[in-house]
Amino acid sequence: MGTGWYAAKAAEVRPGSTAVVVGDGAVGLYGGPAPVRGYLPDLTGRIDPGKIFDLSLPLERVAEGYKAVDERRAVKVLLTP
């Protein structure tokens, strides 16, 4: 782990030029479980999957879904049982 000085040296920053060092220091990330189960009764059946998913396929055609994403024909695939 280096400091901003080492990063600038490695990037060969010359006197008079500008360098921005991002993330030079201690950073913490904290999280925990979200209370989502309490919202499920209100949300069940209320989300329009057409606004989130751009391709819907039955589960047995999952390979086609992966192919569509790989070929950039889809971003989010909804698989239904």
Domain-wise residue ranges, the chain = 48-81
Question: Which positions ≥6 away from 62 have C-beta within 8 Å?
Answer: 79
Specify the pLDDT at position 80: 93
How far is it, in rounded angstroms, from Cα 20 to Cα 42? 46
Q: Which residues of the chain have pLDDT under 50?
A: 1
* Helix/strand/coil for 41: helix
Specify the pLDDT at position 49: 74
* Helix/strand/coil for 55: strand
